[in-house]
Amino acid sequence: MSVDDGQLDRAFAALGDPVRRAMIARLSRGPATVNELAEPFPITTQAVSRHIQVLEAAGLITRTRDGQRRPCHLVPATLEALTSWIDEYRLETERRFRRMDAVLNAMKEQEQ
């Protein structure tokens, strides 16, 4: 809820880039401006600005205004939507594996 399929597309794809993942990691420790986020990377501020736009379009961050700065803030709810999606299928798979194990064990019992 609150994230449609297109948002899932954009959010997962956004996390597929190591630069953007590093930005997420940085933002988990507090808000940061474009220049602050750009600092660790050997790329132009423009490139970073576009990475930020991608993260914003994905709903992974929001932006506020502080004079001429545009600080970025992580949105944990969107991260949570991603883990929820993944966990749904991971848990189903693990349940299935456990059922399969049970069947195999039962067959082993039978054999003896």
* 71 in Cβ contact with 34 (< 8 Å): no
**In this complex, which beta carbon is closest to a second copy, that of residue 38 or of residue 58?**
58
Window contacting DNA (CB under 7 A); options: 21-29, 30-38, 75-83, 97-105: 30-38
**In this complex, which beta carbon is closest to a second copy, that of residue 48 or of residue 74?**
74
Q: Does 96 bind a second copy (CB under 8 A)?
A: yes
Of the candidates 44, 50, 64, 76, which one interacts with a second copy according to CB under 8 A? 76
* 50 in Cβ contact with 38 (< 8 Å): no
Name the minimum Å distance from CB 20 to DNA: 7
Give the C-alpha distances (Å, rounded to integers) separating 100 from 79, 88, 95, 108, 109: 32, 19, 9, 12, 14
Q: Which of 4, 53, 52 is nearest to 24 (CA)?
A: 52
Q: Does 28 bind DNA (CB under 7 A)?
A: no
